[in-house]
Amino acid sequence: MTTIDRRHFLQVGSAAAALGFTVDDAPATAVQAPDARTIRMSGDGLGLTPPESVELLSRLSADGGIARDSYSNGGVVEELEQAFAEVLGKERAVFMPTGTLANHLAVRALAGGASRAIVQAESHLYNDTGDTLELSNVQLVPLAPGRATFTLDDVQALVDRTASGRVTRRISAISIESPVRRKSGEMFDEAEMDRITAFARAEGIGTHLDGARIFLQAGFSGRPVADYARGFDTVYVSLYKYFNAPSGAMLAGPRDLLDEMFHTRRMFGGGLAQVWPYAAIAMHYFRGFPERYAKAVAVSDEWRRLIVAHDAFMIEPIPAGTNLFLLKVRHPDLNAVRDQLARQNVRLPGPLGDGSGFRLGVNESWGRTTAAELADLFVRAVQA
């Protein structure tokens, strides 16, 4: 199991504190709203329902504390942009309505025209965007099918091959997703990541980090998010996956690349008239997130150690994984186990297709209990 360096992870929290974003800014009952009792044992975030999101927005706006934006500019959106730029160690950040658009516009800007961009074959950008970068005359070249990580050797070989072509088509950008969703949250090898970004910098190749879940990765690796972002020109972070906004993304990078990005955002249909509800909820959960998530990770680590002491349970971790893993359960009726835990406000996903257990995800709700209490509930559920 991964050993967590809490001190390094909390450096992210210290950066947030420098902006005035601390746990004390939002009472525990507010931070954990809507139901501080519920432990959601799947997914990256809290999975807020529409009524829960509306109730939270009502409380956040009760004192007039939300400044409205205009076409996704200004107000609480600008406050959130500044907060993310600071924590990620970048000069500028720009709100995007989706991660798909954030990734597209980042690579488009880095490419600077007709060219090729390197991506993982297992990446979201390659598999789930309908070749959107063809609209910007950028061809994606996938590497390392079936793996989370491609190597510097892979990159150099492709750069050399491209340079030898009879028609020039340069490699203009490299995009790296980490952790990789299609590999169940496996991290891109950090040593290779550092070598690749250093090579790209020397060769004048732009680099983009698809860091949709990079704050989760930081919680398990102990490496601050700013340290991950430092090697890349641009970085994207999701606002809905674990900052619990209904939608949204943040793209951070240098001012000369992003200051006028709102024009391109609008050109692609992303200049939404008002996104303050997204930004307000994301800001609410952004404050103090590293500390809360560090607590959740600590609970999950200890819970895994305790639960495997019982012969009904077995943990199958993901190699180089982050917040996802398999819990195998020896019991004839997994739905009965699930229902029993639900009565104790512990929410499991549906059983695996083969009936062997559950695919679990560590989110901040794990920090609402202790490992011992959670392990006891599971043992009692299989004995009921």
Amino acid occupying residue 271 = G
> What distance in Å separates the CA atoms of residue 69 and residue 17, rounded to the nearest whole number?
24
Q: Look at residue 7 in the predicted model and tell me its pLDDT.
A: 42
Q: What is the pLDDT of residues 87-134, one digit of tens each?
A: 999 999 999 999 999 999 999 999 999 999 999 999 999 999 999 999
CB atoms within 10 A of CB 53: 17
Q: What is the pLDDT of residues 158-187, one digit of tens each?
A: 999 998 888 878 999 999 999 999 999 999
Distances (CA, A) of 76 to 31, 94, 101, 132, 196: 18, 12, 21, 29, 36
Distances (CA, A) of 170 to 117, 207, 369: 9, 14, 53
Determine the 3-state secondary structure of 118 from DSSP.
strand
All structural domains of the chain with their residue ranges: 50-285
- Please identify, in words, the CATH class of the domain defined by 50-285: alpha beta
> What distance in Å separates the CA atoms of residue 116 and residue 266, rounded to the nearest whole number?
24
Q: Look at residue 384 in the predicted model and tell me its pLDDT.
A: 86
Q: Which of 185, 173, 157 has its CA nearest to residue 119?
A: 173
pTM (2 d.p.): 0.90
Which stretches in the chain have pLDDT values below 50? 1-33
Q: Look at residue 166 in the predicted model and tell me its pLDDT.
A: 80
Distances (CA, A) of 343 to 117, 299, 303, 333, 370: 50, 21, 19, 16, 18
Q: How far is CA 224 from the centre of its chain?
A: 13
Q: Look at residue 63 in the predicted model and tell me its pLDDT.
A: 77
Q: How far apart are the first and last CA of the chain?
A: 30
